[in-house]
Amino acid sequence: MSEIPSANEALCLRALQDTDRDRYLASLLTPADRRAAVVALYAYSAELARVRDLVREPLPGEVRLQYWRDLLEGSAHGETAANPVAAELLSAVQAWRLPVAPLVSMADARIFDLYDDPMETTAMFEGYAGETAAALIQLVALVLDAKAAEDASEIAGHAGVALAVAGALLLMPIHRARGQVYLPTQILASVGLDRETFVSGTGDERLSAAIQAFAGYGLDHLSKARACGRIPKSLLPAFLPVTLAEPVLKRATKVGAECLTLDIRPPQWRRQLSMMRLLVTGRL
Q: What is the pLDDT of residues 252-277, one digit of tens each?
A: 999 999 998 889 999 999 999 999 99
Percent of the chain with pLDDT over 90: 87
Identify the pLDDT of residue 204.
78
Q: What is the pLDDT of residues 125-163, one digit of tens each?
A: 999 999 999 999 999 999 999 999 999 999 999 999 999
Identify the pLDDT of residue 81.
61
Question: What element of type H or E holds 155?
Answer: helix 153-170
Residue 94's alpha-carbon distances to 1, 88, 89, 91, in angstroms, are 15, 10, 9, 5
CB 133 within 8 A of CB 41: no
Question: Is residue 2 over pLDDT 50?
Answer: no
Question: Is residue 191 over pLDDT 60?
Answer: yes
Tell me the pTM. 0.95
Mean pLDDT for all residues in the chain? 94
Question: Is residue 240 over pLDDT 90?
Answer: yes
Identify the pLDDT of residue 3.
64
Cα-Cα-Cα-Cα dihedral of 55, 56, 59, 65, to 10°? 20
Residue 2's alpha-carbon distances to 10, 36, 52, 143, 219, in angstroms, are 13, 10, 35, 16, 39
Q: What is the pLDDT of residues 83-137, one digit of tens each?
A: 999 999 999 999 999 999 999 999 999 999 999 999 999 999 999 999 999 999 9
Where in the chain are all domains bearing CATH 1.10.600.10? 116-284
pLDDT bucket at 4, cuts 50 / 70 / 90? confident
CATH of region 116-284: 1.10.600.10
